[in-house]
Structure 1
């Protein structure tokens, strides 16, 4: 399969069967130090703000770079955390381990409002391919996919393996505590391994429909990976292979979008476009691929000016109906049957859209509001907002490509080459954020998180807290 590409990340729910977690009583490295305020002797005197202020509050030098909507006097920050995820009032992130900060990582859980460290995981068994907020035994949590060099008794061969590990948000229980302190570090409640297989892709496709790591798939609620054929024979017309843009998994099918040219039929060639679904063994389940003769003197035909994406159990096509891409036609298909569909907002709650092929709207990425009502798609030509139930598409008036980073029910936080901005989903009105302020990278209800990159040689920070702009 050609042109396999990584996709944006967003929140997902991958349900897994939780096993009983037990604490690790081992002592931390001597290099690990506590960031928790020292304990005080109980006193009848009321506490002062100075006594209770957390030591991980935002330093003054970051105040000018905080995202709009985060109070500089009421936020938290940590240096050198990686890949944060936010769900249900908890922030999860990777933290270098003091014993081997260049390669060893732990997961830390933080209170999204105060930044208090809630618990830390054991050192992860290998390099991290993906970390996401997840559902663990029906409750909020975090999961990670790692590459394991020695997976122990879970495998029958010594080859490198994928490992899926998950923790519930309350993994620390009553013990919890500062991730730099002597409190215990917790093993994963779920740990499933599988060989990387003969074709170990470096990309991990992870959506609400499951985790696709290499040649193996872990479906929501499953306790083991199942093999899939990630490299089937491509769709062929005559002697020409048609390009397939892999989107991901929907139900029991692997979904791709086909866009390719064959010159078997006409002198100028024909452009083939359409959806293609395969079963896990690589066999074609169905396709909607159709051909259109290329116009004379066109060296390469681009096909229709449209954007296609996988939205959970549905396939979405947004096609421009005029040359300036100001009017659009919206088409939904059921991914299982490729029959026309009309999903409601309720049908899409919790779903993560994945761009299959941006068509003429190149460089695209998509975000769906948590209530499922509106879908934002940023592209090299600007941005679009789809009202799911009305079926209307509103272009955003901007001269620059918009990259969306976070979304809630009313607002997109993003950036262009000209600076950062917010987008109102109802009006499609873009509002610039005065520099050097940043947009949020993650939002969840009342809380927001952003990554502030330092200059060369300076630390990066993860900052967060309660949003002042939350509705």
Structure 2
């Protein structure tokens, strides 16, 4: 509640006290004593009750024990039923159901990361959201979504679906921000680019630092239109064997895949050979470069069918992590320039701000890759392996854990994640893990001084987006 309202309340109390004093002159003397005490209370600019100090978007008391470690229960904010939050430069973006049809239409809502104040809402989005990301819009912080737009004039068929890319700068509302859920009209997207009809599933979106690939349509940074790409080229062949290609993402004007497959050739080893490595194709599906190598298979060996590798796109570089012993205590790092596949040694400044994209293959379960904002540390995990990589020195530290580690957020010092045993943080400098006391939650996103998380309850219960200034932040 504002101080203005507090001053009005104090003034009303003072007027009431004067009235009581006047009545006391003609009645019981005790009334005069009461009125004298009341008249001695001077008006104040301070809120007069504890309730008036409670911020409009404060966290409900029942959430206190579940808040992320480092979020002050007395200074945090919360909003119910917001989805897919993203955080950048002091602004939080999320999806909010539209009041007229909560099951389908949605708005983007922008919030102040420190106070939770609603800054603005978008117009109703033209279709189902496939991806949302905090990004740059015309060189400034903002938010973008990829939606599937449907031609309402036709029957809803696969052929009527098209991609739409919409983006808003963080200050889209200016001084006229619309309150989400109100009847006020929302703000139109500053960027709205519609792609041709897509033949690939509407949920198939790859969003990297190098561009957005939605179905078979690619939108490069700062481009004004989507271009069609060949997402289903003829696979790489070795003799009569097709090698499996796992599409990974885009870099510049190249489409990148990670190849892994086994071939048995008449003049090869009896156990065959495993082919692994990166392959780049142009938009029409033609091979641009090939860095796939082969390893003879060995019966009864841990690496019997080739090395177990973890492959990641990090900005404009490709990283392959290969264990070099059967106990997975030592690792080899191989960096390639994505444009040329030449060996590279990126510095933290080359990676700063990048968001890694992980290759998902059959040899890994639920992989994670997160890069610290300063580009100095990369966290990578698959199966029960969790690694912290020092980009500058190339040192790899294995985190001592017997459980799969899933990543949620990272800053320059700390990784926030969870295992089947609960939530944890990992110090990036030492690789040491520390459990987050249950039932507290890890952050879903952190950005400088601020952090946000979605707190989910049982099925049917209200879930909350919570956030605010982190107490542990410098």
- Residue 359 of structure 2 is matched in structure 1 by 356
Residues of 1 paired with 2:361 and 2:403: CA distance? 17
Structure 2 residue corresponding to 1:381, chosen from 373, 379, 384:
384
Change (3 A) 1:248 1:151: farther
Residues of 2 paired with 1:151 and 1:174: CA distance? 34
Query: Is residue 410 of structure 2 the alignment partner of residue 407 of structure 1?
Result: yes
CA deviation digits over 1:184-221, x for unaligned, max 9? 41111111001233334531000111110011111111
Aligned ranges 1:66-145 → 2 under 5 Å = 66-145=67-146
CA deviation digits over 1:118-158, x for unaligned, max 9? 00111110000001101111111110110111289xxxx98
| Kept in 2: contact 1:314–1:334 (CA 8 A) | yes
CA deviation digits over 1:304-358, x for unaligned, max 9? 1321111111111111111111111111111111111111100001111111256
Query: Is residue 177 of structure 2 the alignment partner of residue 211 of structure 1?
Result: no
TM-score by length of 1: 0.87
Residues of 2 paired with 1:163 and 1:76: CA distance? 32
Residues of 1 paired with 2:170 and 2:368: CA distance? 29
CA deviation digits over 1:334-388, x for unaligned, max 9? 1111111111100001111111256855432100000000000122123000000
Residues of 2 paired with 1:37 and 1:216: CA distance? 50
Residues of 1 paired with 2:301 and 2:258: CA distance? 22
| Kept in 2: contact 1:308–1:317 (CA 8 A) | yes
Residues of 2 paired with 1:337 and 1:439: CA distance? 39
| Kept in 1: contact 2:120–2:173 (CA 8 A) | yes
**Aligned-pair distance for 1:40?**
4.5
- Residue 191 of structure 1 is matched in structure 2 by 192
Aligned ranges 1:412-431 → 2 under 5 Å = 412-431=415-434
Query: Is residue 45 of structure 2 the alignment partner of residue 46 of structure 1?
Result: yes
Q: Which has the higher contact order (CA 8 A, sep 6+)?
A: 1
Unaligned 5+ residue runs, structure 2?
9-42
Residues of 2 paired with 1:45 and 1:386: CA distance? 57
DSSP 3-state at the match of 2:350: helix
- Residue 455 of structure 2 is matched in structure 1 by 452
Residues of 1 paired with 2:328 and 2:353: CA distance? 29
Residues of 1 paired with 2:469 and 2:404: CA distance? 29
CA deviation digits over 1:430-458, x for unaligned, max 9? 00011001110100000000111110110
| Kept in 2: contact 1:255–1:278 (CA 8 A) | yes
| Kept in 1: contact 2:178–2:186 (CA 8 A) | no
- Residue 8 of structure 1 is matched in structure 2 by none
**Aligned-pair distance for 1:66?**
0.5
Residues of 1 paired with 2:404 and 2:249: CA distance? 25
Structure 2 residue corresponding to 1:285, chosen from 288, 291, 295:
288
Query: Is residue 248 of structure 2 the alignment partner of residue 254 of structure 1?
Result: no
Residues of 2 paired with 1:190 and 1:140: CA distance? 14
Q: Whose helix fraction is larger, Structure 1's or Structure 2's?
A: 2
Structure 2 residue corresponding to 1:392, chosen from 388, 391, 395:
395
Query: Is residue 298 of structure 2 the alignment partner of residue 295 of structure 1?
Result: yes
| Kept in 1: contact 2:302–2:326 (CA 8 A) | no
Residues of 1 paired with 2:152 and 2:356: CA distance? 33
Residues of 1 paired with 2:123 and 2:372: CA distance? 34
Counting matched residue pairs gives 432
| Kept in 1: contact 2:132–2:145 (CA 8 A) | yes
Residues of 2 paired with 1:359 and 1:103: CA distance? 34
DSSP 3-state at the match of 1:246: strand
| Kept in 2: contact 1:215–1:228 (CA 8 A) | yes
- Residue 349 of structure 2 is matched in structure 1 by 346
Residues of 2 paired with 1:209 and 1:42: CA distance? 54
| Kept in 2: contact 1:307–1:359 (CA 8 A) | no
- Residue 33 of structure 2 is matched in structure 1 by none
Change (3 A) 1:90 1:174: same
Query: Is residue 280 of structure 2 the alignment partner of residue 273 of structure 1?
Result: no
Residues of 1 paired with 2:377 and 2:310: CA distance? 16
**Aligned-pair distance for 1:300?**
9.9
Unaligned 5+ residue runs, structure 1?
1-35
DSSP 3-state at the match of 1:103: strand
TM-score by length of 2: 0.87
Alignment RMSD = 2.3
- Residue 331 of structure 1 is matched in structure 2 by 334
| Kept in 2: contact 1:91–1:111 (CA 8 A) | yes
Moved more, 113-122 or 169-178: 169-178
DSSP 3-state at the match of 1:104: strand
- Residue 242 of structure 2 is matched in structure 1 by 241
Residues of 1 paired with 2:261 and 2:159: CA distance? 40
DSSP 3-state at the match of 2:114: coil
**Aligned-pair distance for 1:460?**
1.3
| Kept in 2: contact 1:344–1:388 (CA 8 A) | yes
Residues of 1 paired with 2:141 and 2:187: CA distance? 16
